[in-house]
Structure 1
């Protein structure tokens, strides 16, 4: 039995997103067919369009931040059944790579992908799925381990945000590093991921949380989501401003934060984050860089250089998440009122309004547009 649907796809390089009819085959033994209820519109999907498909084979079903209802499962699947509400994870650990074999699935080298085909009904062409998900579609298919069951009380138009931007930011404070109670934190870039870092730092009990951006609207967002201070980087040296906001009675203290998170993908911001941290502080690169991006770090400066300041530099991919553990945890935090997903949704769009959502993302002040299907 095949499942019919519609999907927002890139059909060829240089063209706008099109809405097409698709067919999802009956699920292979390890797969699950999902009726998508909602999908966040993430900047990564726009990046794939701007990079002419980023090497994926056309047609490409966009979307990787989705939640929905299980329609059918393969014969090997025992943890899900039709009717279950789920969030789709784009990084379900493979279980076989060196990291998984040593018991470290958070750092899996790859991710499980479905083997069930999705085809364009007009000509039978096989469709690629962005990050193995393809959630800009009324129906999609994933490896069943990538479908993470949600509590019945969890609204799926909010749960979808857990799949990428929110887990990336919150996970950076819980998994990539461990922000401790009373810590000082700077967040460079206060878009959707940066705001999620701020929320994660607040949940972890950070005392000082400094949002840094050049957009006054985003700085207001930062305060609304838990920043104790904000710095407009256009008003002067943001490194000096951040370091001066953190004080300690110990006479040898030179300022700086315990953790600095870069959430822009801009190389100068990585360099700034490194110089913002105090002795033995941790700077985290989260933003997605261009393929030729490079950054030069000072090593020898006595106050802020990598060597003398003993800087720890880490890279965050998807919050170093273990979705089967982390997604239910974040859902529970939302249900307890400790994680604000409602305010993360700037507006709702329909499946045929993806281009409008992309345009708003490029030109307006938007945290997340969510497609309701």
Structure 2
């Protein structure tokens, strides 16, 4: 791991979770710039900073995030940094002992004792946490940001709207929380697992649908007066749930796909259905 250059930060990794995106890298679903250094749901302690770094200092505890926005591109100037067209990562590459350059997955690569990132990828943790809590806060740079960002930013959910979330893992539950923050009045959580649905309810779901026992499209329509939801978030990313999300929207409703579909996944929706239902279909990889 090289010493940090200008605008770079060296971080001692405290914790790092395993995300489904890591598996997509393994399967070649994100790119082919092997070998990859995986891991991005991370927290750590700043070990060294490069020239010009003012955001953090040595000893700061930080959450790592993969999008260090530039603040200057046309998206950032419009107040939409989640669409930043010039995000930053560390310029220098970490390497194997034989000098082989590694590609840090999502610009982090935290399945290691140390990692090198751009300073803007570090979010300082204020206050003290218990040791076990650092694993939880690492999720803020990945799953939490993805789910909440998909609802607040990409879907732009408004107060009083209805939202359905298909798939209530970490990202989906964060989307439920985002819908509650946005003031949605009907928030429908859909999953196969009753425990996940119970968690979604704790985070703001007003209704739950177990798709093992209920057909989700019909259930969502029933809970929204027969119309469908204003916004449907697909937090699973397989062909079946994509189709369900499309069909569960109200006329002119919005649909957001969060995450990375498995390699080779395709969706077929007739054009007359697309034009007939209107609305918008968006992808929100990390909101």
Structure 2 SS opposite 1:72: strand
Matches within 5 A, 1:51-70: 51=28, 54-58=31-35, 60-70=36-46
What is the RMSD computed on CA atoms of the aligned residues? 2.4
Structure label with greater radius of gyration: 1
**1:93 counterpart = 2:74:** no
**1:175 counterpart = 2:150:** no
Identify which of 167, 180, 193 aligns with 2:171.
Answer: 193
Instruction: Provide Cα deviations, 1:124-148, integer angstroms capped at 9, x if missing partner.
Output: 4333211110111221110111112
Unpaired segments of 5 or more residues in structure 1? 1-23, 248-253, 320-373
Structure 2 SS opposite 1:306: helix
Matches within 5 A, 1:351-370: none
Distance in 2 between residues matched to 1:230 and 1:104, nearest whole Å: 32
Larger deviation, residues 228-237 vs 38-47:
228-237
* Structure 1 residue 156, shift from structure 2 partner: 2.8
Identify which of 206, 210, 229 aligns with 1:257.
Answer: 229
Matches within 5 A, 1:21-32: 24-32=1-9
Partner of 2:127: 152
Partner of 2:54: 78
Instruction: Provide Cα deviations, 1:270-322, integer angstroms capped at 9, x if missing partner.
Output: 2211221223321111131234332223454xxxx433433222211211xxx
Unpaired segments of 5 or more residues in structure 2? none
Structure 2 SS opposite 1:118: coil
Identify which of 259, 277, 282 aligns with 1:309.
Answer: 277
Matches within 5 A, 1:1-373: 24-51=1-28, 54-58=31-35, 60-94=36-70, 99-100=75-76, 104-121=80-97, 123-153=98-128, 155-247=133-225, 254-300=226-272, 305-319=273-287
**How many aligned residue pairs are there?**
284
Instruction: Provide Cα deviations, 1:96-129, integer angstroms capped at 9, x if missing partner.
Output: 76645766432123531212342334x3433321
Q: Are the structure 2 counterparts of residues 296 and 125 from structure 1 closer, same or farther at C-alpha, using a change threshold of 3 Å?
A: closer
Moved over 6 A (4+): none
Relative to the length of structure 1, the TM-score reads 0.70
Structure 2 SS opposite 1:180: coil
Q: Are the structure 2 counterparts of residues 282 and 217 from structure 1 closer, same or farther at C-alpha, using a change threshold of 3 Å?
A: same
Aligned residues of 2:190 and 2:209 also touching (Cα < 8 A): yes
Instruction: Provide Cα deviations, 1:56-82, integer angstroms capped at 9, x if missing partner.
Output: 232x32101111111111112122211
Aligned residues of 2:27 and 2:263 also touching (Cα < 8 A): no
Q: Are the structure 2 counterparts of residues 264 and 52 from structure 1 closer, same or farther at C-alpha, using a change threshold of 3 Å?
A: closer
Q: Are the structure 2 counterparts of residues 182 and 100 from structure 1 closer, same or farther at C-alpha, using a change threshold of 3 Å?
A: closer
Aligned residues of 2:234 and 2:256 also touching (Cα < 8 A): yes
